[in-house]
């Protein structure tokens, strides 16, 4: 148990000690936004839409140059086949954003990776989020680890209530590239009661 506490402490100190380096400021995309607000912000941040409806959206930004044995980094490919630096998916319920998932791809540069995601931990920290659980991949060939944090919005005194769940996963999506994938999920069912 002491080893797990030490690991978590080292992990968070490392992440919180870097400067921000990211395609977007994800904190601008707050749960509860209307579809129109989300669409305008995505356009302002220069995203390309793969789809956008009253229920959900998918948008992409920039192309990642893959470090593979192949020289073709996307020439002649459809836009949907090119790996983006950032992809955002959202789900609306009752005309409010209640689920947001962000996928960010990085070259194997730990400084960029850690620096680029400092903001998500600062967001959790400033909102008094608590670690709910650690998910460790059961597949021995996958080094994936996921963290789930809870933010109690009801105690913050704002108009937003409920529990916001923040999920963070670092993984290597496939063996053909040297890319690392950082996935962030934000959800508050208060915006979409079942």
Q: What residues pair up with 84 in beta bridges, in sequence order?
A: 63
State residue 9's pLDDT score: 33
Residues 6+ apart with CB under 8 A from 102: 26, 86, 87, 88, 183, 184, 185
User: Is-contact 39 51, C-beta < 8 A?
Assistant: no
State residue 65's pLDDT score: 54
Give the separation between CA 99 and CA 185, rounded to whole angstroms: 7
Rounded (10°) angle between helices 2-16 and 118-126:
110
pLDDT by 10-residue block (mean), the chain, 194 residues: 39 33 74 96 93 95 57 60 84 95 79 72 91 90 88 82 91 72 90 84
Q: Where are the domains of the chain?
A: 2-191
Q: For the whole model, what pTM was predicted?
A: 0.76
Tokens of 138: 């059961």
In CATH, the number for domain 2-191 is 3.40.1000
User: Is-contact 31 164, C-beta < 8 A?
Assistant: yes
């Amino acid at each position: 148990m002491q080893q797990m506490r030490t690991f978590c402490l080292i992990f968070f100190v490392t992440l919180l000690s870097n400067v921000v380096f990211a395609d977007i400021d994800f904190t601008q995309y707050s749960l509860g936004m209307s579809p129109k607000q989300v669409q305008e912000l995505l356009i302002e941040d220069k995203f390309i839409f793969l789809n956008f409806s009253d229920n959900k959206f998918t948008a992409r930004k920039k192309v990642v140059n893959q470090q593979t044995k192949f020289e073709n980094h996307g020439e002649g490919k459809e836009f949907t086949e090119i790996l983006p630096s950032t992809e955002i998916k959202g789900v609306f319920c009752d005309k409010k954003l209640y689920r947001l998932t962000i996928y960010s791809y990085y070259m194997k540069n730990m400084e960029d990776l850690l620096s680029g995601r400092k903001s998500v931990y600062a967001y959790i920290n400033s909102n008094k989020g608590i670690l709910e659980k650690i998910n460790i991949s059961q597949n021995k060939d996958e080094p994936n680890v996921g963290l789930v944090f809870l933010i109690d919005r009801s105690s913050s005194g704002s108009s937003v209530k409920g529990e916001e769940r923040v999920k963070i996963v670092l993984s290597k999506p496939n063996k053909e590239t040297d890319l690392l994938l950082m996935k962030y999920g934000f959800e508050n069912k208060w915006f979409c009661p079942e």
